[in-house]
Amino acid sequence: MQVYAPLYILVTGSIRNTYFCSMSIVSQLQQCTIAGLKALYERPFTAADFQVNQTKPEFEGDYTVVMFSLMKSLKLAPEEIGSALGGYLIQEYPNYFSAFNIIKGFLNLTVTDTYWTSLLQEKHADTGYGKKAMSGKKVMVEYSSPNTNKPLHLGHLRNNFLGWSVAEILKANGYEVIKSCIVNDRGIHICKSMIAWQFFANGATPDSTSTKGDHFVGTYYVRFNDEYKKQVESLVVSGLTKEEAEKEAPLMKATQQMLLNWEAGKPDVIDLWKTMNSWVYQGFDITYKRIGSDFDIIYYESNTYLLGKDIVQQGLDKKVFYKKDDGSIWIDLTTEGLDEKIVQRRDGTSVYITQDIGLHLQKYEQYKFDQSIYVIGNEQNYHMKVLQLICQKLGLPNADNIFHLSYGMVELTTGKMKSREGTVVDADDLVDEMIQTSRQHTEELGKVKDFTATELDALYNTIGLGAMKFYLLRVDPKKTMVFNPEESIDFHGFTGPFVQYTHARIKSILRKEPVTAHTPLPVLSPLLKLEKELLVILEQYPGIIEQAGDEHNPSVVANYVFNVAKIFNSFYTEHPIVSAETEEKKHVRLKLATMTANVIRSGMQLLGIPVPERM
């Protein structure tokens, strides 16, 4: 919890006038209400006994105590409770509440201008506003997890942006965060692109074809599937069943042999594998750098795929697992409503889930984390449920604190993305297009003609990527979302560039009128509607960070930051800042603008989106 000195709290001597200075105004109101109910009715209530909401715009007031449940337990009419409680709050907490009205079961309270202006005075220049002090807790966030046989696509982008943003949000909530990635660099699917390269490439390389390495390898993965399909078809024509043909196709047999050779460590296969993977990594590096992803630790499946075997033995000893007659090892999860799950094949090799059990333990031993978050698509909900259950049954450390941040698939307006049908949206192509679009818009508007070429490139990147990240992060992670190409390059309305633009607008004013040059508040003239509206939403920022952290949900921040920008823009249109009615108003508005810019910058940073000074 943040702690800030309550300069704006005036101590009046009454014991009941103790203030809860580091709290949000909502918590404050809850505490005051509890105290009031106790004083008035000599009965103990908790915050769960009544509801506090933001007052609807059509009514007078800032926050509302919903009294229906109180009416029931006190057996009193709303007017009675409302006038007693409202009167009490105004009398006992004059620094917080200045007026009230009662409509049906709603007690609407007006928060004093003193409260808002003191908040503004104290927080307007605080770039760490809303962020919590380090708690000493450590959390691992695993995300991205690409395969080394094809380039990154739209689905990976959602994953990467989510992982990055959740890491930033957790940092803001006081966690130490370790970002990790598990690279799926081995297995039959990796061998497919290797075999296709051997058969069809004639020694071509990314350099010889001027192709980005991951795309280069990706074409051979596609080529494999095409050629394999042809082989299967011709075998079917020659009389085999489809199943037989799929097994007997020469390409598949070669691939399976290659996998065996890889596992046996045959030098020529290992060399080819290393070479092709290095091509892919060169490509990934470029993409990760462009989209602003990075990791503190990268695990490779080629190193981890043998993990977990000791654990399987321990599980047998503990009778968590059992062995079937053929030698394969299983766990029975039917009492949990799941199925039986294999953890070791009859040939003694470990399966996908076994590696994950091993990796969990390895990560724990390495980092001693308090929580381990996996950013993985919802198609793996079952897998992750089983993983956690097994870890718990084995009594592995911190198994209860495995959290699957399950996100929904990204679909296209035309339907689902399918790698094999070529309906995927490539990450690099998309980034290119977004940057190109931002260039076009910027040139049309012609506001930054004095920028150098380098500055312009940086700006196009900021806007293009900002639009894309915001577009993918503004939706609740767990929901399947639709990617609409036209909508994604729209820079108006609920978009990243809209928020960035609002920031640039403010900065333009502050360059002319630095806020530091002004005397401190207090302010005597009453706050106008839009001034207060801005302060009300700015006051909510710490709570938003907390909520986003608790829910592992960046869309909470995206929605918030958009609303802040929207309210600021209304305010900006309605009220002049530099040429305000009075000097006092000018000071207040400059500070409001400063605080708004800081919150926008801070919130966007939690989404991994920089904001420009000009655009």
Partner RNA sequence: GGUCCGGUAGCUCAGUUGGAUAGAGCAUCAGCCUUCUAAGCUGAGGGUCAUUGGUUCGAAUCCAAUCCGGAUCACCA
Minimum CB–partner distance for residue 301 and RNA (Å): 5
> Could you tell me the smallest distance in angstroms from the CB atom of residue 175 to RNA?
22
- Name which of 160 and 437 has its Cβ closer to RNA: 437
Segment 568 to 587, residues that bind RNA, using CB under 7 A: 569-570, 572-579
Kindly tell me which residue out of 170, 498, 538, 545 binds RNA, with binding defined by CB under 7 A. 498
Interface with RNA includes 438 (CB under 7 A)?
yes
**Can residue 339 be called a binding residue for RNA (CB under 7 A)?**
yes
Rounded to whole angstroms, the Cα distance separating 377 from 162 reads 11
Contact pick of 505, 552, 591, 601 for RNA (by CB under 7 A): 505
Minimum gap (Å) between residue 238 Cβ and RNA: 26
Residue 445 beta carbon to RNA: minimum distance, rounded to whole angstroms: 5
**Which token pair is 113?**
């201008």
Per CB under 7 A, contacts with RNA among 107-166 are 108, 147
Q: Is the dihedral of CA 27, 30, 34, 40 positive or negative?
A: positive
Question: Is 90 within 8 Å of 33 (Cβ atoms)?
Answer: no
Nearer to RNA, 173 or 488 (CB): 488
Nearest CB to RNA, comparing residues 202 and 573: 573
CB 430, CB 484: distance < 8 Å: no
Is residue 302 close enough to count as binding RNA by CB under 7 A?
A: no
Residues 524-543 that bind RNA (CB under 7 A): none
Number of residues assigned to the chain: 615
The site for RNA, by CB under 7 A, has a size of 96
- For position 319 contacting RNA by CB under 7 A, the verdict is no
User: Smallest distance, Å, CB 28 to RNA?
Assistant: 15
User: Closest approach of Cβ 46 to RNA, in Å?
Assistant: 11
Indicate whether 409 belongs to the interface with RNA (CB under 7 A).
Answer: yes
Q: What Å distances lie between residue 408 and 281, 379, 387, 472, 557, CA to CA? A: 26, 8, 20, 11, 18
Sign of CA dihedral 481, 486, 489, 495: negative
- Site membership for RNA, residue 278 (CB under 7 A): no
C-alpha to C-alpha distance for 395 and 609, rounded to whole angstroms: 40
Question: In the bound complex, what is the minimum distance in angstroms from residue 204's beta carbon to RNA?
Answer: 27
Distances (CA, A) of 249 to 73, 187, 236, 328: 76, 19, 10, 28
Show the site string, 22-61: x = touches RNA by CB under 7 A, - = not: --------------------------x--x-x-xx-xx-x
Does 73 sit near RNA (CB under 7 A)?
no
Question: Applying CB under 7 A, does 328 fall inside the site for RNA?
Answer: yes
Closer by beta carbon to RNA, 523 or else 565? 565
Binding residue (CB under 7 A) for RNA from 14, 275, 423, 480: 480
For the chain, what is the radius of gyration of the CA atoms?
A: 30
* 187: contact with RNA by CB under 7 A: yes
Q: Distance (Å, rounded) from C-alpha 427 to C-alpha 287?
A: 8
Among 164, 56, 146, smallest CA distance to 104 is for 56
Q: Does 352 engage in binding with RNA (CB under 7 A)?
A: yes
Is 18 or 349 the residue whose CB approaches RNA more closely?
349
Query: CB of 118: closest distance to RNA in angstroms?
Result: 24
Closest of 94, 124, 117 to residue 584, by C-alpha = 117
Report DSSP letters for 256-305, one per residue.
HHHHHHHHTT-HHHHHHHHHHHHHHHHHHHHHHHHHT---SEEEEHHHHT
The span from the CA of 113 to the CA of 91, in Å, is: 16
Q: What minimum distance in Å lies between the beta carbon of 489 and RNA?
A: 10
Tokens of 426: 């490539």
Stretch that binds RNA, among 232-240, 286-294, 424-432, 502-510 (CB under 7 A): 502-510
Q: Which DSSP helix (H) or strand (E) runs through 124?
A: none
Nearer CB in complex with RNA: 297/509 = 509
The nearest distance, CB 70 to RNA, in angstroms, is 9
Q: Which is nearer to RNA, 206 or 503 (CB)?
A: 503
Binding of RNA by 416 (CB under 7 A): yes
66 makes contact with RNA (CB under 7 A):
yes
User: Does 336 sit near RNA (CB under 7 A)?
Assistant: no
Among 137, 247, 266, 566, binds RNA (CB under 7 A): 566
Question: x-or-dash pattern for RNA, window 377-396, by CB under 7 A?
Answer: -xxxxxx-------------
| Residue with token string 């009859």 | 346
**Rounded Cα gap, residues 559 and 555, in angstroms:** 6
Instruction: Rule CB under 7 A: choose which of 103, 204, 316, 458 binds RNA.
Output: 103
Token code pair at residue 190: 């990796």
Binding of RNA by 614 (CB under 7 A): yes
Q: Considering only residues 240-269, where is the footprint of RNA by CB under 7 A?
A: none
Of residues 203-232, which lie at the interface with RNA (CB under 7 A)?
Answer: none
Per-residue DSSP letters for 538-588? HHTHHHHHHHHHHHT-HHHHHHHHHHHHHHHHHHHHHS-STT-SSHHHHHH
Report the 3 state secondary structure along 21-89. Answer: CCCCHHHHHHHHHHHHHHHHHCCCCCHHHCEEEECCCCCCCCEEEECHHHHHHHCCCHHHHHHHHHHHH
What is the Cβ-side half-sphere exposure of residue 464, based on CA atoms within 13 angstroms? 25
Binding flag, residue 323, RNA (CB under 7 A): no
- The smaller minimum CB distance to RNA, of residues 121 and 437, is found at 437
